[in-house]
Amino acid sequence: MAPRHPVEGTSSLWQATCDMPSFAPLAQDIETDVCIVGAGLVGLTAALRLVRAGKRVVVLDSQQPGRGNTGRTTAHLASAIDDRFSELARVRGLDAARKAWESHATAIDCIEAIARDEDIACDFERCDGYLWLAPDQDPDILRQELDTVHAFGWHGVQAMDEDPVFRRPCLRFPDQAQFHPLKYLAGLCAALKRKGAAIFGDTRVENVEGGEVVVVTTEGAAACAARPRSSPPARRSATASPSTASRPPTPPTRSACGSPPASCPRASTGTPSTLIITSASSRAATARATS
């Protein structure tokens, strides 16, 4: 039986049609350059890009890869947006609408490139997307959206008298895509393993404070502390506040995957620090020795 979502009690088609790898909890001390919390699509993509850039990477997940949102996605990859480009242009300007399109399109290109370069069989396929109206919606919505996307340069979008399914007036958006998200995620795991990254499952991050990362396993033991190499060992208990993790900014212009445009915010290029991730058994032994 496919694993069930811990909050909503649901399972997905993707989980039923893909055997995902599982990873042991953190059980020994380990050093790394970057610690990523979360082994979903965002976390593993970030891990792959960092490994390609020469960084040592450790990924920690409270469950296992694919057990969260990635395993329940609709799996359609769209550069069209739900909130409408016309509305975004009205509120933030036409240039912001263009950047939103470019960032979404770049994300699709990135998935396609990774699947190709890492030989991931994930049923990736380019396809058209369609926007149609509900029966009570104003037909002018489609015209406004078409005018907006043409104004910022997406000339491939076309108005059609009827879509292939509901036979209603619609807009056709080219170069969208679909894929099997868990086959893709399994491929990312395999690629990371080949490149030397470490993934640990059932290792929950409960708190981030004071430059340290404290991890608690499902058994409740303090499992991990990440700190600058030059700092003394941490001697405190984990707290139960939720973990927080920042997401990388979306590139504002299209570029090859792995090469963000010059305008994309970048991490500091100062002196790199090494994170020392300490296992639960090691922390317990240290506590006994110092008590």
pLDDT, position 225 = 47
Task: Give the pTM.
Answer: 0.74
pLDDT, position 208 = 61
Residues 280/48/34/29 CA torsion (nearest 10 deg): 30
Do 173 and 130 meet the contact criterion of CB atoms below 8 Å apart?
yes
* b/e 228-254 (16+ beta carbons within 10 angstroms → b): eeeeeebeeebeeeebeeeeeeebbeb
pLDDT at 8 over 70: no
Do 226 and 275 meet the contact criterion of CB atoms below 8 Å apart?
yes
Angstrom distance (rounded) from CA 19 to CA 66: 10
Pairing of strands 57-60, 34-37: parallel
Do 213 and 225 meet the contact criterion of CB atoms below 8 Å apart?
yes
Do 167 and 160 meet the contact criterion of CB atoms below 8 Å apart?
no
Tokens 């639960």 correspond to 280
More confident residue, 75 or 119: 119
pLDDT tens digits, 150-197 = 999 999 999 999 888 888 899 999 999 999 999 999 999 999 999 999
Nearest to 90 by CA among 147, 129, 174, 138: 147
Pairing of strands 57-60, 125-132: unpaired
pLDDT tens digits, 200-228 = 999 887 766 655 555 554 443 333 444 44
pLDDT, position 174 = 96
pLDDT, position 236 = 33
Nearest to 159 by CA among 148, 150, 168, 172: 172
Q: Mean pLDDT across the stretch 55-83?
A: 90
Confidence band (pLDDT; 50, 70, 90) for 245?
A: very low
pLDDT, position 289 = 53
Angstrom distance (rounded) from CA 267 to CA 249: 11
pLDDT at 129 over 70: yes
Q: What is the mean pLDDT of the chain?
A: 78
Q: Mean pLDDT across the stretch 260-267?
A: 44
Nearest to 39 by CA among 147, 195, 200: 200
Which residue type is seen at 136? D
Tokens 């409740």 correspond to 220
